[in-house]
A and B are shown apart, each in its own frame.
Chain A
C-alpha cells in the first residue's frame, strides 16, 4: 500500500475508532461508569499516599501508604480482569463487524489497531473524568482522615500530579494487558472465525445431565460443610472450609442449569404454573453458558462481603479500644505501692499543664467472689494478674470520675459499687450479693459501665472493679499505684514522645510501667483505621463494582433477544403488566442468585471474625450482628445501584412501547 493510502487509511481508522468508542460508551454505560469509578478510586487513594499534609499527621503514616499501595495493586488486578473480560466480551459481540472490516479489505492488524484505539479512547476518557471525580473523592477521604486524627478539615481543591501519574501507570497496565490479549486474538483469527465468533459461547463445562445432577448435589453438601468448617474458627479447618465453599460455588453454578429442567421434569405442573416456564428457561439458558463467570462473580461477592465486614470489625475494634483506653487524658501506673517514677511526675509538672489529677491505688480483695462467677459463666474473659477481686477506694473513684468527666455518684452507706465493662454487666449483676471486703460486709449499691480503662490488670481492674468505702480498703493489699490526670490541653505528640522515652529508658533498667494518653490512643486508632479499614474498603468496592458490572453487561447484552422474546409474548396475548412482572422476576432471580451464597457464607464469617478481638470491645453499635448487618447494607446499597440502573435500561429497551412495539419482530 502506498504511503498516501496509508495516511488516508489511518485517518479513517482513527475516525472510525473514535465513533466506535462513543458508541461503546453509550452501549456499555455501566461499564464506562465503572471504569471512571476505577480511576476515581485509584486517584483518590493515590492522593492519600502522596499528600504531605496527611503524612505529617503522624510519623507512622508511612505504614498507611505502604498498605494503600499494596491494596492498589490488588485493585489494579481486579479492574484488569474486568477490562480484559469486557474487551473479550465486546469482541464476541462485535466479531461480525470486525469480520466485515477484514472482508472489505482491512488487515487483521489494522482491525486489531482499530479495536485497540477505541478501547484506549474509552480508557483515556474514563481516566480524565476519573481524575476530576477522584479529586473530589480525595477531599472526602481527606476529611475522614482529618476527622480520625481530630484535626479540623478545610476544603482545598487540588490536583496531585504524582497521584495522577501513578493512576495513569495503573491504567496503562490495566489496558495494555487486556488489549494485548484481544490483539493477539484478532490477529490470529480468520474471517469466518470472526463472523461466527459471536455464536461461540463459554460452552457447557459439564456435558451430561446425570453428571451435572451429581455435581449439583455434591456442591450443596460441600457448601454446607464448607460454611460449617469456616465457622469452627480454626486455621486448618478454615482453609479446608474455604476450599469447600469455592468448590460449592463453581459446582453449583455449573450444574444449576441442568438442575432446573430435571426439577421441572419431575414436577411438570410447576413448570406450567404462571410464568415459571419462561422465567426459568430463560434463566437456565443464560446460566448454562456462563456458569464459571457466575461462580467467579459469587466468589467476588463473598470476598466483598468478607472485606467489608472485616473492615467494619477493625473499625469498631480500634474505636472501641480508643474509647475504653482513652478515658483519661493521661494515665501512668506502676506495680505495687510505689508511685509512678519521679521522672514522669517531674516532666508532667514542668511541661504538661494539668487541670485535675489523682494519685491512687488499686487493691485486691481477699476473695474472688466475682472472678469465680465470671469464670463459671459462658462469657469470654481473659482474667489474670489479680489474686482477689480488684478494689478501689470510693474517694479515688469519685476523683477519677471527675477527671474522666463522668456524672457524680452518691455516697456509699455500707455498700459497694461495681464498675465493669458493659459486656460483663449482666453476668456480674447475677452475683450482686453482700461481699466481705477486709473485715466489712458490704451490700450491693449499683453498677456503672462507663469506659474506665479496664482492659488490663495494670489498669482499673481487669474488666471489673469493686468500689468500697475508703476505710474498708485499708487492710487490703495494693496491686498497683496509678496516676490519672485531666490536662488543660490534649497531650501533644512531643509530650507523648518524651513520656515514652522515659518509659523505654526505665524498661532498660527492668521497670515496666504503663503510660497511656487519650491523644496517643486516638492516633493509634486513626492510624490503624487508615491502614486496615481504608484498604479493605478500597478492595471491596473494586470487587463489587467489577462483579456487578460483569453481571450487568451480560444482562444488557441480551436485550435484543429479550426484546424479540417479549414481542412474541405480546403477540401471543401477554399483557404489558404481566410482561413487566415476568421480566422483573427473571431479572431479580438473575441478580439474586450470585448474591445469595455470599450472604449465607459471608454473614456467619463476619460474626466469627467479630468473635476474634478481645471480649468487650465489640459491643453496642459495634457488636458483630450490627457489623454484619451494616456490611450487608453497604454491599446491597452498591449492588442496588447497579440493579436499578440495569433494570431501568433493560425495561426501556426490552418493553419499548409494548404493545405497539410488537410489530417490530
Chain B
C-alpha cells in the first residue's frame, strides 16, 4: 500500500544543514499496524510529516497505492489528504468551538459529503469508538481519552485508508492509553485500517504488528511481532531500546 524509497530530508541553510532523514526505505502492506520508534530528534515525526504530505522530501519517493505523492499539485495533495489519510495527534487537535459530533463531522464536510448523511456517518463512527454519549459535548467537557477517541473517529469517519498517528497516547494516562490502543487494534483488525503510529512509548508500540526503530534519521532496527504474545513483544522492544542508546554496530 505504502512504499517509502530512499527518502532524505534536509533542514537549514547552506552553512548549517541538518539531515533529518537519511535514505530511509520501507514498505507498508494494506491492513498493517506499524509503529515507528526512536528518541527525540531521531526523525520519526519528520518521516510521518513527509508521508502525510504535510512536509516534502529532499530526495527519494513516497508511493501510496502506486501514486507518487511528490508529483501531486497542492490541490491534489489536499484532496489526497482528505480522502486517503486520517490523522491523530498527541494534543488531539479538536476545535474547541465545535462539539464532538461537529469535530467528527468536520472531516466529512471537508470531503464534501452529502449533508443528509453526515449525522448518520458520525453516529456510526462514534458508536464504533464508544463515544455516542458525548457527541453533544464540547472538547473541554470530556476527558483526554474521550478526546483522542473522537480524534480517531474523525480520522476514520470519511473512510480514509491510512491512519497516521503522532504520539497518540502522549497526553493520556495509562488507562486511557490502553483503551485507545485497544480501539486502534480493533480498528486495524476489524475494519482493516492501515495504521502508522509514531511513538516513543514501548508499551504503545507493542500493540503494533511491526516496529521500525529510527536513530539519527536512519532505520536502526526492525521488529516483527508475528504470532508472539504482546507482552513478549513488549520485552523485545525494550531490549532494542536498551541497545538504541549504544552504537549501531552493537545491534546489527
Residues of A participating in the B interface, judged by any CB pair closer than 8 Å: 268-278, 281-282, 284-285, 565, 568-578, 659, 662-663, 665
Contact = CB atoms under 8 A, between A and B. Distances in A.
B109 A274 contact: yes
A665 B111 contact: no
Nearest to A574: B110
B243 to A, nearest CB: 31
Interface stretch (B73-81, B182-190, B234-242): B73-81
Contact of B115 (A272, A285, A575): A272
Contacts of B82: 572-574
Contacts of B78: 570, 573-576, 578, 659
25 contacts: A268-B115, A269-B116, A271-B102, A272-B105, A272-B113, A272-B115, A272-B118, A273-B109, A273-B115, A276-B109, A278-B95, A278-B106, A281-B98, A568-B95, A572-B81, A572-B106, A572-B110, A573-B82, A573-B83, A573-B111, A574-B82, A575-B75, A575-B79, A663-B54, A665-B93
B87 interface: yes
Given A565-B95, A663-B49, A573 B105 contact: no
Given A572-B106, A573-B82, A659-B74, A270 B93 contact: no
Which 5 A-B pairs have CB atoms at the shortest separation, nearest pair first?
A573-B82, A575-B78, A573-B81, A285-B97, A272-B118
Given A277-B105, A281-B98, A576-B74, A270 B115 contact: yes
Contact of B107 (A268, A282, A285, A572): A572
A180 B18 CA distance: 52
B102 A573 contact: no
A298 to B, nearest CB: 23
Using C-beta atoms within 8 Å of the partner chain, give the interface range for chain B.
Answer: 20 to 34
Main secondary structure of the interface of B (DSSP, over half): helix
B85 interface: yes
B178 interface: no
Given A271-B102, A284-B97, A572-B106, 15 more contacts: A272-B115, A282-B97, A571-B52, A571-B54, A572-B154, A573-B78, A573-B81, A573-B82, A573-B107, A574-B110, A575-B74, A575-B78, A659-B54, A659-B74, A663-B55
Contacts of B55: 663
B187 to A, nearest CB: 18
A574 B109 CA distance: 10
Contacts of B111: 573
Nearest to A579: B78
Contacts of A576: 74, 78
B119 interface: yes
Contact of A275 (B81, B85, B105, B109): B109
Contacts of B87: 571-572
B108 interface: yes
A577 B118 CA distance: 23
Contacts of A276: 109
A578 B55 CA distance: 20
A269 B115 contact: yes
Interface of B: 49, 52, 54-55, 74-75, 77-83, 85, 87, 89, 93, 95, 97-98, 102, 105-111, 113, 115-116, 118-119, 154
A272 B54 contact: no
B96 to A, nearest CB: 8
Contacts of B102: 271, 277, 281
Nearest to A659: B74
A355 to B, nearest CB: 76
A271 B52 CA distance: 28
Given A573-B78, A573-B111, A665-B93, A277 B54 contact: no
B44 to A, nearest CB: 14
A272 B98 CA distance: 12
A573 B110 contact: yes
Contacts of B80: 573
Contact of A272 (B52, B75, B108): B108
B110 A569 contact: yes
Contacts of A269: 115-116, 118
B113 to A, nearest CB: 7
A659 B30 CA distance: 27
A648 B236 CA distance: 55
A267 to B, nearest CB: 10
Contacts of A577: 75
Contacts of A663: 49, 54-55
Contacts of A271: 102, 115
B21 to A, nearest CB: 14
Contacts of A565: 95
Contacts of A578: 78, 110
B109 A277 contact: yes
